[in-house]
């Protein structure tokens, strides 16, 4: 493949990935409002189009036309920079996530992924750790008590849970022997007895899976760990002073991070895009993507289900849970997994 074709293919893939991700983000908000509505015995949005399916577009238009207020006491450059950092880092991680196997289009053979790098997992961890600045700076630069407390809580929480999150992945890495997300999916191919898939979830990484899910909920500031924006105490936490598109950028960043977490959970623990493949060639090349999307959808649904079910932690409980329970458990999981692999 020549350099020109490579750049062209990459640009097309980037445009497609962004389009799909942003649509997913928009419709996750609708799904959330619908599902939480039904959990609370209400209808949720139902006025804009049938079942409210145009609601995300209406919301987007509303955000664009709202007045964009910058508080006079804010640190202006950082106040502008914070939502940009949050959204950029949230959208960057999708670049290394594979959504399916290699496909053939005529003479073109290309992976369903923007960049297949051998340190894919580390890149996602790195980008996530830089994303903390968006939240921390938003809280600090707004120059308001509530924002400040929200920003402090968010950065402390994200830094603490990053450790448990990172350690929970090591068991998977021991089995796969690679940081490449594509290799990790390939390492989970095959079945036992013809029907139990060899997913990491069933290969002894059961504990790691739950550590990952809990730490990821804390990383994305979702209920039951949404202390940074606890509305009963902090108005809206770090984005209290933000309005219009700047607020929308934080909102989109949160949901894009949720999508990334769901993609990563599917790849690391549920075998990525593995599943029955049949039918004519075009269906065969698209079915894996469908299986992958199904897993991601299931994770997004669980996110919303948890939000509709659980109350919020207290802040000291949150920190104690992360440091005194999840972290030792993650380390124990590494020891046990290494022993199992070494003695096999």
Partner 1 sequence: MLPLILFFIFAALCVGGAINLLVQKHPINSALSLIVVMGSLALIYLLLGAEFVAAVQVIVYAGAVMVLFVFVIMLLNAGVEERTEHASRVAMVLGVPGLIIGLSLAVWVVSHLAGLDRIAIGGPMVMNGSDVFGNPQAIGHLLFRNFLLPFEVTSVLILIAIMGAVVLARREE
Binding site for partner 1 (CB under 8 A): 75, 78, 117-119, 122-123, 125-127, 129-130, 132-133, 136-137, 139-140, 148, 151-152, 155-156, 159, 162, 178-179
Minimum Å distance from CB 127 to partner 1? 8
The nearer residue to partner 1, 304 or 326, going by C-beta atoms, is: 326
Minimum Å distance from CB 325 to partner 1? 19
The nearer residue to partner 1, 46 or 118, going by C-beta atoms, is: 118
Q: Give me the count of residues in the chain.
A: 344
DSSP 241: T
Minimum Å distance from CB 136 to partner 1? 6
How far is it, in rounded angstroms, from Cα 87 to Cα 239?
Answer: 13
The nearer residue to partner 1, 124 or 261, going by C-beta atoms, is: 124
Q: 66 is written with which tokens?
A: 């709202």
Residue 40: half-sphere exposure toward Cβ, Cα within 13 Å: 15
Q: Which residue has the tokens 């409002």?
A: 33
The nearer residue to partner 1, 118 or 317, going by C-beta atoms, is: 118
The nearer residue to partner 1, 78 or 287, going by C-beta atoms, is: 78
Q: What is the DSSP secondary-structure string of 163-179?
A: HHHHHHTHHHHHHH--S
Q: Which residue has the tokens 């949901």?
A: 255
User: Please, which residues have CB within 8 angstroms of residue 233's CB and are 6 or more apart in sequence?
Assistant: none
How far is it, in rounded angstroms, from Cα 78 to Cα 342?
Answer: 50
Q: Judge whether 304 and 27 are in contact, CB under 8 Å.
A: no
Q: Of 98, 169, 91, whose CA–CA distance to 130 is shortest?
A: 91
Q: 142 is written with which tokens?
A: 């707004």
Q: Judge whether 300 and 28 are in contact, CB under 8 Å.
A: yes
Minimum Å distance from CB 78 to partner 1? 7
The nearer residue to partner 1, 126 or 204, going by C-beta atoms, is: 126
The nearer residue to partner 1, 7 or 332, going by C-beta atoms, is: 7
Pairing of strands 191-192, 196-197: antiparallel
Minimum Å distance from CB 39 to partner 1? 35
The nearer residue to partner 1, 160 or 274, going by C-beta atoms, is: 160
The nearer residue to partner 1, 136 or 211, going by C-beta atoms, is: 136
Minimum Å distance from CB 101 to partner 1? 23
Give the residue ranges of DSSP H helices in the chain. Answer: 3-39, 55-65, 76-92, 120-141, 145-168, 170-176, 181-186, 206-219, 231-234, 244-269, 281-309, 315-320, 327-343
Minimum Å distance from CB 339 to partner 1? 17
Minimum Å distance from CB 75 to partner 1? 8
Minimum Å distance from CB 336 to partner 1? 20
């Amino acid at each position: 493949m020549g350099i020109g074709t490579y750049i062209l293919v990459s640009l097309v893939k980037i445009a497609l990935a962004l389009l799909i991700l942003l649509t997913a983000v928009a419709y996750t908000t609708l799904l959330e409002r619908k599902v939480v509505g039904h959990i609370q015995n209400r209808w949720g949005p139902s006025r804009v189009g049938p079942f409210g399916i145009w609601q995300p577009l209406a919301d987007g238009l509303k955000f664009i036309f709202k007045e964009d207020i910058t508080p006079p006491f804010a640190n202006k450059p950082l106040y502008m920079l914070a939502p940009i950092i949050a959204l950029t880092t949230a959208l960057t991680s999708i670049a290394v996530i594979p959504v399916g196997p290699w496909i053939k289009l005529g003479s073109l053979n290309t992976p369903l992924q923007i960049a297949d790098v051998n340190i894919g997992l580390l890149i996602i961890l790195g980008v996530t750790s830089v994303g903390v600045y968006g939240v921390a700076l938003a809280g600090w630069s707004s120059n308001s008590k509530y924002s400040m407390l929200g920003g402090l809580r968010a950065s402390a929480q994200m830094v603490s849970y990053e450790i448990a999150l990172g350690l929970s992945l090591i068991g998977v890495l021991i089995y796969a022997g690679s940081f490449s997300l594509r290799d990790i999916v390939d390492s989970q191919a095959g079945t036992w007895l013809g029907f139990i898939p060899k997913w990491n979830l069933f290969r002894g990484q059961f504990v790691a899976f739950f550590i990952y899910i809990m730490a990821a909920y804390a990383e994305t500031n979702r209920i039951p760990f949404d202390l940074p924006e606890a509305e009963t105490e902090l108005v809206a936490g770090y984005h209290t002073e933000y309005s219009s598109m700047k607020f929308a950028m934080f909102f989109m960043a949160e949901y894009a991070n949720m999508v990334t977490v769901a993609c990563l959970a599917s790849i690391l623990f549920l075998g990525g895009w593995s599943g029955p493949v049949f039918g004519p060639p075009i269906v065969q090349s698209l079915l894996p993507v469908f299986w992958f999307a199904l897993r991601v959808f299931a994770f997004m649904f669980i996110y919303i289900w948890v939000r509709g079910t659980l109350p919020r932690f207290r802040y000291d409980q949150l920190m104690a849970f992360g440091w005194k329970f999840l972290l030792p458990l993650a380390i124990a999981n590494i020891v046990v997994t290494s022993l199992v692999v070494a003695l096999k």
